[in-house]
A and B are shown apart, each in its own frame.
Chain A
Amino acid sequence: MTEMLVKSGVQLVLLLLVAPLISGIVKTLKARLQTRRGPDVFQPYRDLFKLMRKGMVIPDTASWIFSVTPYIVFATATLVGLMIPMTATDAPLSLFGGVLAVVYLLALGRFFLALAGLDTGSSFGGLGSSREMTISAIAEPAMMLAIFTVALGANSTNLSEMAQAAVSQSWKFLEPSQMLAFAALFVVLIAETGRIPVDNQATHLELTMIHEAMILEYSGPYLALIELGAWIKQLVLMTLLVNTFFPFGLSSDWTVAGLGMGLVVYLGKLLGLACFIVMVETTNAKMRLFRVPELLAVAFILGALALISTFLF
């Protein structure tokens, strides 16, 4: 019990520290690749502190749903973060829920976020909620197929078991099924974190907004909580990707040395994935909303092929 508490505490601190950093890294890299100087990688922390100390405006049309949502978004993202292996194969709370719980907890956060978007009465909020629910709905089958593929390899939906299975056969990622599942999940990651071909985090133009439109009315500390929640969610999905498909360097215990080593490798892997995301974001234009289903259909087929490959190749 105390062991679990200590582990959770360590991982919680890690989550809160690394999540804004990764977001900052992606932003900086993107700026550099587009020959802008851009802010440095620590800008998200500053944003967070700034927002935390600001006052906030609550729309007078909003109900308690609006005020509860930031907490729920933050809590679901953080809880999910404690259930996935970050630096060591056994995650602190992996017993409480596996990958299915991860998917559905994130859905719970999204459910409330979409309600909050509608709660303000602004048409932007409604627009954002509608699009967010649509895209997440059509991303779900692809995600589930990819997850099925990985879960079958490990014969478990428990994330620690999955990481352990991946560690024990570390060249597995060369198998077609793993590669295809990775590709499918990568597309889902792009869609779920509001990255460019699907959504644009940097825009505030009504034609293109999805996630930003939902949270348009938030300000001050509530906005800080929601942003932090979104960063943690992004980190969680990225971690899921790097640690289940490229499990190198995951330490098998929670000793200081093992964790330190694990952390270094983990950050390295995240950096690699971040570079990849930045490449995709920079080389692609945002898709029309009604082209997004095509992208997700490709992801679905990739997931299906991954599953077929598990029993053929």
Chain B
Amino acid sequence: MASLGALLEGIASLAVILDARETFIAIPSGLALVQYTFRLDPIACYFNLALAVVTLAISIYSFGYLDGFAPQKPLGVFCFFYALLLISLTVVFTAANALLFLIAWEMMAVAAYFLVSFDHEKTENRRAGLLFLVMSHVGTGALILAFLLLGTWAGGFDFATFHLARHSLTPLRQGTLFLLFFFGFGVKAGMVPVHIWLPAAHPAAPSNVSALMSAIVIKTGIYGIIRVSFDFLETPPLWAGLLVLFAGIASAILGVLYALIEPDLKRMLAYSTIENAGIILMALGATLVFQSYGRPMLAGVALIACLFHIFNHAVFKALLFLSAGAVVHATGTRNMERMGGLIRPMPLTALCFLIGAIAISGLPPLNGFVSEWLAYQALLGGFGSTPSLTRMVFPVAGSLLALTGALAAACFVRAFGIGFLALPRSSQATQAHEVHVSMLAGMGFLAALCAGLGLGANLLLPIFDPLTVALLGVQMSGNLTMAGGIALSSGSPRGGTVAPAALAGLLVLLSLLAGVLLATWWRRGRRVQGPTWDCGLPGLTEYNEYTATAFSKPLRMIFAVLYQPRREILAEFEVSAYYPTSVRFETEVDPAFETHLYSPLKDWIIARANWLRTMQTGSIHAYLAYIFVTLILLLLFGVRS
């Protein structure tokens, strides 16, 4: 067990070293391996760096985490697929050939499938795995089609060939390819409306795998879209950028709204992944729009916002999934309503979750704030410098980004407040205990990274230079730092600045000031412990506490158009309706995409499949006849062309 873990960690750290070297040198170097080619250009290395960092933390964490599974589960199998997933991810990011890319892509999906259904005793998990596999293949189908078309038109399957041939493609072909790629990669990225597999699959997997999937696997989709729009095709037209932007807005808003009402901690995090994928797509869409208007500097700001948020999300989402995993490990439930009060038995896990929650809500001075700040600056710049109607898109996007941020904050206040604070809500929560030290180490590493990436953001900007040069041909870091490098600037000389490290320092300073103020004045006072006000009822119990469902109730009412909530109250009474003997309350939210989009689609497919069934007679002669007819048709077709 331990040796396997060590092996994983070895792989991880090896990847770190490898990537660190390549990223900083950032020279595209080709390496021929039979017919498979790998390319380590800046963009591939950047994604690999994220992979390596997250994997390092997850592998450390897994030491302690997998102990819980030890006797009943085949850990060897788990580790095999985990390693396979890591390898295929690395290959996906570095492949320089369409076929190799697709093979790795499939390997990734298969490995992820086995990891998702690792806990296969539960039907729910098996269903989640199946849904994941089906959706993944729908996406892959689009990708295969796109690559085949591109390969035919470009005359080769090397990425380099695609790059060279891009000017010879007609706009119609480019548009078709873009749509196919966007759909195919969008499925993996968790874009609305093809996101439905994500909230099912991510929570079903063991938490370390959930972390890896949410942090990195969905980023392969984003990587694909970036690769396609900057490498394979010419500068995408305006509509493509706007399409990405709108898809991003929809994903961000819907993702966070569904996260808000989810009582399952891990599903909530999965929905929040959709939201963050949306934010990333928004920044990417803005980049494409700016590029189609020929404004490289603005595109640079938006691209850095996009790339930085990719890394940041990888870090804090992994952190949150790992802490959620620790909580599930300790309490045995994923339902927030049955947690509560965990900050006392599990103080360090709680702290890690809190740091992740602050970071993902985009609050200063952590890393989420920095990337969202850059996104706002790009959107603001977009309003001032694009022609008439398109410009209205940016402030609307900006205000919806603000809405997303505020809702995310509400969502994580709910998760932390209900899950970790106040009184335990169940016996499992009372008996919770702090987790293994290796798990804490893994989480602590990521939490420190959240702080580091936020406070030191201005020092990290030069890392993005090779990336922006490669994709847009501009060098940004000089424009984005100000005042001797302590402040981040919006790019224009008098635009706007922010200095996260200084803000953090000042916050501490002012808190100390308040402390001094209190210490000097507060002489006579005493500090006593007392019971919380319980409205005169005998003692405060967990039944008095606000629940997660109640917390999101106002928002459920406000956005009732989207949620279509269903509510059922069943009160039994004997004498008067005012004195019920028992009340049953049930509330449910209509999963809009499932009922209105996928169910009709499923019914349609099943109807068509039934129709096809008439062909399946079961007679061996009939099948032979089919083959025979097909053969003849193919022969004739071959002769004709």
Direct contact of A and B (CB under 8 A): yes
Please determine whether B506 and A93 come into contact, CB atoms closer than 8 angstroms: yes
Report the minimum CB–CB distance from A62 to chain B (whole Å): 8
A39 within 8 A of partner (CB): no
A101 to B376 Cα, complex, angstroms: 11
A74 to B373 Cα, complex, angstroms: 23
Chain A residue contacts of B395, Cβ below 8 A: 144-145, 148, 304, 307
Nearest A residue to B499 via CB reads A96
Chain B residue contacts of A273, Cβ below 8 A: none
Report the minimum CB–CB distance from A269 to chain B (whole Å): 25
Main secondary structure of the interface of B (DSSP, over half): helix
A63 within 8 A of partner (CB): yes
A163 to B417 Cα, complex, angstroms: 39
Chain A residue contacts of B496, Cβ below 8 A: 98-100, 151, 156-158, 161
A115 within 8 A of partner (CB): yes
Report the minimum CB–CB distance from B465 to chain A (whole Å): 24
B532 is contacted by which of A60, A79, A95, A308 (Cβ under 8 Å)?
A60
Please determine whether A72 and B511 come into contact, CB atoms closer than 8 angstroms: yes
Please determine whether A307 and B383 come into contact, CB atoms closer than 8 angstroms: yes
Please determine whether B343 and A143 come into contact, CB atoms closer than 8 angstroms: no
List the one stretch of A120-128, A240-248, A251-259, A278-286 in contact with chain B. Answer: A120-128
Please determine whether B407 and A137 come into contact, CB atoms closer than 8 angstroms: yes
List the one stretch of A27-35, A51-59, A166-174, A194-202 in contact with chain B. Answer: A51-59
Which B residues form the contact surface with A (CB < 8 A)? 341, 343-344, 358, 361-364, 369, 373, 376-377, 380, 383-384, 388, 391-392, 395-396, 398-403, 405-407, 409-410, 413-414, 416-418, 421-423, 482-483, 487, 490, 492, 494-499, 502-503, 506-508, 510-511, 513-515, 518, 521-534, 540, 544-547, 550-555, 557-558
| Cβ contacts A to B, 20 pairs, < 8 Å | A53-B523, A55-B528, A62-B422, A75-B510, A76-B507, A79-B506, A79-B507, A96-B498, A101-B364, A104-B369, A115-B416, A117-B417, A122-B534, A130-B550, A137-B555, A155-B494, A157-B496, A158-B494, A225-B514, A290-B558
Report the minimum CB–CB distance from A116 to chain B (whole Å): 9
Please determine whether B423 and A121 come into contact, CB atoms closer than 8 angstroms: yes
Chain A residue contacts of B402, Cβ below 8 A: 103, 140-141, 143-144
Please determine whether B495 and A155 come into contact, CB atoms closer than 8 angstroms: yes
A189 within 8 A of partner (CB): no
Please determine whether A59 and B498 come into contact, CB atoms closer than 8 angstroms: no
Please determine whether B506 and A303 come into contact, CB atoms closer than 8 angstroms: no
A307 to B389 Cα, complex, angstroms: 12
Please determine whether B506 and A155 come into contact, CB atoms closer than 8 angstroms: no
Please determine whether A115 and B380 come into contact, CB atoms closer than 8 angstroms: no
B384 is contacted by which of A126, A133, A152, A308 (Cβ under 8 Å)?
A152
Please determine whether A61 and B406 come into contact, CB atoms closer than 8 angstroms: no
A60 is contacted by which of B400, B410, B511, B531 (Cβ under 8 Å)?
B531
A290 to B559 Cα, complex, angstroms: 11
Chain B residue contacts of A96, Cβ below 8 A: 487, 497-499, 502-503, 506
| Residues 131-190 (chain A) with a chain B CB within 8 angstroms | 131, 133-134, 136-145, 148, 151-152, 155-158, 161
Nearest B residue to A81 via CB reads B510
A151 to B392 Cα, complex, angstroms: 15
Nearest A residue to B487 via CB reads A95
Report the minimum CB–CB distance from A240 to chain B (whole Å): 15
Main secondary structure of the interface of A (DSSP, over half): helix
B405 is contacted by which of A97, A138, A140 (Cβ under 8 Å)?
A140
| Residues 80-119 (chain A) with a chain B CB within 8 angstroms | 82, 93, 95-101, 103-105, 107-108, 110-111, 114-115, 117-119
Give a binary string over A35-71; 1 marks a CB under 8 Å from any B CB, 0 the rest. 0000000000000010011111111111111000011
A78 within 8 A of partner (CB): yes
Given contacts A118-B422, A225-B514, contact A156 B531 (CB under 8 A): no
Please determine whether B551 and A129 come into contact, CB atoms closer than 8 angstroms: yes
Report the minimum CB–CB distance from B282 to chain A (whole Å): 14
A119 is contacted by which of B369, B421, B521, B523 (Cβ under 8 Å)?
B421
A271 within 8 A of partner (CB): no
Nearest A residue to B411 via CB reads A133
A311 within 8 A of partner (CB): yes
Which A residues form the contact surface with B (CB < 8 A)? 49, 52-65, 70-72, 74-76, 78-79, 82, 93, 95-101, 103-105, 107-108, 110-111, 114-115, 117-127, 129-131, 133-134, 136-145, 148, 151-152, 155-158, 161, 216-217, 220-221, 225, 289-290, 293, 300, 303-304, 307-308, 311
Nearest B residue to A225 via CB reads B514
Report the minimum CB–CB distance from A8 to chain B (whole Å): 9
Given contacts A59-B532, A145-B395, A303-B399, contact A136 B526 (CB under 8 A): no
Please determine whether B423 and A52 come into contact, CB atoms closer than 8 angstroms: no
Please determine whether B383 and A127 come into contact, CB atoms closer than 8 angstroms: no
B399 is contacted by which of A82, A216, A300 (Cβ under 8 Å)?
A300
A98 to B521 Cα, complex, angstroms: 33
Report the minimum CB–CB distance from A124 to chain B (whole Å): 7
A186 to B533 Cα, complex, angstroms: 35
Please determine whether B544 and A122 come into contact, CB atoms closer than 8 angstroms: yes
Chain A residue contacts of B499, Cβ below 8 A: 95-97
Given contacts A54-B525, A137-B410, A152-B380, contact A72 B507 (CB under 8 A): yes
A213 to B402 Cα, complex, angstroms: 25
Please determine whether B497 and A108 come into contact, CB atoms closer than 8 angstroms: no
Chain B residue contacts of A145, Cβ below 8 A: 395, 398-399
Report the minimum CB–CB distance from B32 to chain A (whole Å): 48
Closest 10 CB pairs of A and B: A126-B546, A118-B417, A157-B496, A121-B422, A133-B410, A137-B406, A141-B399, A75-B510, A144-B402, A59-B532
Report the minimum CB–CB distance from B280 to chain A (whole Å): 19
Identify 17 new A-B residue pairs, CB closer than 8 A, beyond the known A56-B525, A58-B527, A72-B511.
A53-B523, A60-B531, A64-B343, A74-B510, A99-B496, A100-B376, A111-B358, A111-B409, A121-B421, A122-B545, A126-B546, A136-B406, A136-B410, A138-B558, A141-B403, A148-B395, A221-B525
B494 is contacted by which of A111, A120, A161 (Cβ under 8 Å)?
A161
Please determine whether A140 and B403 come into contact, CB atoms closer than 8 angstroms: yes
Nearest A residue to B498 via CB reads A97
A134 to B410 Cα, complex, angstroms: 7
Chain B residue contacts of A131, Cβ below 8 A: 554
Please determine whether A111 and B555 come into contact, CB atoms closer than 8 angstroms: no
